Structure 1
């Protein structure tokens, strides 16, 4: 059975997580954060997000240096709007610290 492209991409991304993503995953896996269950590299609204909890509806994105590029910032802002339209709160963590979009 062939999976949608975002599912295949999510599987690949789980194998190549950044150090920051690995550290955060150790903190949010197995319902360690207020009992909320998170998934890593999971499809949401046609995108693959770094971490998602469906109850509450939260997406956490860990942004590396490539997200500092102006074109990437525009893409990220549009992506955030689409994900938020699905009812999720999107939190981004980057070099400058956590911020809510």
Structure 2
């Protein structure tokens, strides 16, 4: 599936990749080079009018990592809007906190693995979930 994006986001996505948070770097070490069941993930991927932290086109899966600022109501509301828009495009969102990635990587990876296994069991149809 081809997902269009705002070309103006390309440079911002590059800047975000070059200034990754510790949790993004840590999760990327587990996702890069097809380590998750052979699926190809990308970092800071522009989709529509947004940039997602990690994205796998074949799985139609976006993974978002939320720092402490995401607890602020205005930021949380933007996250909800982003998730709804991505879902409307057929992209499912798994959302984890920085704390989870830094302190409970095993369960973060298990949640991603569960998504992948369900996707494969459904014959390549994304599960109808939004994990927060």
1:69 aligned residue: 72
Deviation at 1:4, TM superposition (A): 2.0
Say whether residues 1:34 and 2:65 are aligned partners: no
Pairwise CA RMSD? 1.7
Say whether residues 1:14 and 2:17 are aligned partners: yes
**TM-score between both structures, scaled by the size of structure 2:** 0.70
Runs of 4+ aligned structure 1 residues displaced above 3 Å come to: 95-99
Say whether residues 1:23 and 2:29 are aligned partners: no
**TM-score between both structures, scaled by the size of structure 1:** 0.91
C-alpha distance in 2 between matches for 1:50 and 1:89: 13
Task: Note closer, same or farther for the CA distance 1:55–1:30 as it changes in structure 2 (3 Å cut).
Answer: same
Larger radius of gyration: 2
Higher strand share: 1
List gaps (5 residues or longer) in structure 2: 1-5, 101-107, 109-129
Higher helix share: 2
Give the number of aligned pairs. 99
